[in-house]
A and B are shown apart, each in its own frame.
Chain A
Amino acid sequence: MTDQIAEAAPAVVVLPAEIDVTNSELAFGLLAAALAPGVPLVIADLTATSFCDTSGVRALVQAHEQAGVRGAQLRLAVPLGGSVRRVLELTGLGRVLNIYPGLDEAIAG
């Protein structure tokens, strides 16, 4: 299964620089659209995202659940130490998501 994911090209979705209640639905929409049939792996690229609030984190969790339903996997690339990591930690929702410190790490799995 891991080999299959590695061989198929992952869909990388670059998320906005700031995600909050005004665009979290958009963020979910981008990820949901990338989770097309036959796509086993979607990577949410938050390496250029400096802020993500609790509604943004909920959107990521929704996309994660959507991926599960479709038999795919969602991985997040979130640099260590920033405000986005902090909100993932404070909501406790980081624990249910697949989080990697960079894009390369997320692709490698």
Chain B
Amino acid sequence: MTATAGDYVLDARFRHLAVFYETGQDYLDQVGGFVRRGLAAREPVLVAVPAARLRLLREALDGAADAVTFIDMQDLGRNPARIIPAIRRFTDGHPGRTWFVGEPIWAGRTEAETREATRHEALINAAFRGVPTTILCPYDRTGLASQTLDQAYETHPQIEAQGQPWPSHAYSGIDLALAIGGEPQPPAPADAAVLSYQRGNLPLVRRFARDHASRAGLAGQGLDDLVIAVHELAANTIAHADGHGTLRIWTEQERLVCEVTDTGHITDPLAGRHLGSRPQAGGHGLSVVHQVCDFVEVRSGTFGTNIRVYRDLVAMDQAAKPIFTG
């Protein structure tokens, strides 16, 4: 039997759809149409898309735009691991049905960023199970690589076309996230600064991180943040692995990279993404790391755990924004 539009609902409460667009008008019709449906239902709408698309939508929605919450995805999704906690805060703040437009992948993102954003897309399927929200993710059919477009069919249970949901037969739940997270990293550069640490060495880890980061040009809160992040990663080694780890620090393309390797195994694919409006829940270490780092790659498997955090060395006076404000 051929599936027909609208009758394929995996989760009556939670919906996660990809939509493919080509032109600006196409974007306004499809994404703008989705936003208007949310507004017509008098339900809260959050839109997180790249700045240029955001302006386009805001203008087209005209007066109705006031009822929509807009976030620049190039800011929020710089580190894609920050997006789920942000949506979570929105859904937790509005107990009824909510609507969310999230565009974490745009033309020009690096391969590594697209990989982490794809991982985020897959993890949405686990993070919002049972939550009454409809999430629409626009994909730029002309600007993105064909592999990226193909993967959207894997990470989304449904595809939106002509304003109707259709099943995605390639949907694979969080499998892509697990595959990306389980893939070992290429080795760190041979000239990286190396520190082997164990329980009792955490002050040394902090000093080592501070010295190297400050030599690379970080200062003030940016420097404090980097030390906090590296410390939390090393503290996880002490708490969850066999207590021995290796810290490597190097710079590449105007970024500072810190890598922590240990024998631990992170089994929760959503680790570090749970925190929304419920700060009492555990897992603060990785959540803090995601907030203060511009980009993070968490890899864990039979090879152990390898986490790389990146801080931009340009525009470093801009402190990372915490999740919890107000």
Binding site for B on A (CB under 8 A): 18, 20-22, 51, 53-55, 57-58, 61, 82-83, 86-87, 89-93, 95-96
- Other-chain residue from A18, A90, A93, A95 in contact with B291 (beta carbon distance below 8 A): A90
Residue of B at shortest CB range from A54? Answer: B284
- Asked if B84 is at the interface of the complex by the 8 Å CB criterion, the answer is no
> Which residues of chain A come closer than 8 Å to B199, judged between CB atoms?
22
Contacts A53-B228, A55-B235, A90-B322; A22 near B288 (Cβ below 8 A): no
Contacts A22-B202, A54-B284; A92 near B228 (Cβ below 8 A): no
Is the CB–CB distance between A83 and B227 below 8 Å? yes
Q: How many residues of B contact A (CB 8 A)?
A: 27
Within 8 A of A (CB), among B156-184: none
Is the CB–CB distance between B228 and A20 below 8 Å? no
Measured in the bound complex, the distance between the Cα atoms of B291 and A86 in whole Å is 11
Is the CB–CB distance between B324 and A86 below 8 Å? no
Q: Which 9 A-B pairs have the closest CB atoms?
A: A92-B279, A92-B324, A54-B284, A21-B235, A83-B224, A90-B288, A91-B284, A90-B322, A89-B322
Contacts A18-B203, A21-B239; A95 near B221 (Cβ below 8 A): no
- Asked if B115 is at the interface of the complex by the 8 Å CB criterion, the answer is no
- Other-chain residue from A22, A86, A96 in contact with B238 (beta carbon distance below 8 A): A22
Binary interface profile of B, 283-299, with partner A (CB < 8 Å = 1, else 0)?
Answer: 01101100110000000
> Which residues of chain A come closer than 8 Å to B324, judged between CB atoms?
89-92, 95
* Chain B binding surface, main DSSP class: helix
- Other-chain residue from B206, B225, B288 in contact with A54 (beta carbon distance below 8 A): B288
Residue of B at shortest CB range from A86? Answer: B224
CB distance from A15 to the nearest CB of B (A): 16
- Asked if B108 is at the interface of the complex by the 8 Å CB criterion, the answer is no
- Other-chain residue from B206, B238, B279 in contact with A93 (beta carbon distance below 8 A): B279
CB distance from A66 to the nearest CB of B (A): 15
Within 8 A of A (CB), among B274-317: 275, 279-280, 284-285, 287-288, 291-292
- Other-chain residue from A18, A21, A53, A61 in contact with B280 (beta carbon distance below 8 A): A61
> Which residues of chain A come closer than 8 Å to B225, judged between CB atoms?
86
Is the CB–CB distance between A86 and B221 below 8 Å? yes
> Which residues of chain B come closer than 8 Å to A51, judged between CB atoms?
206, 227, 231
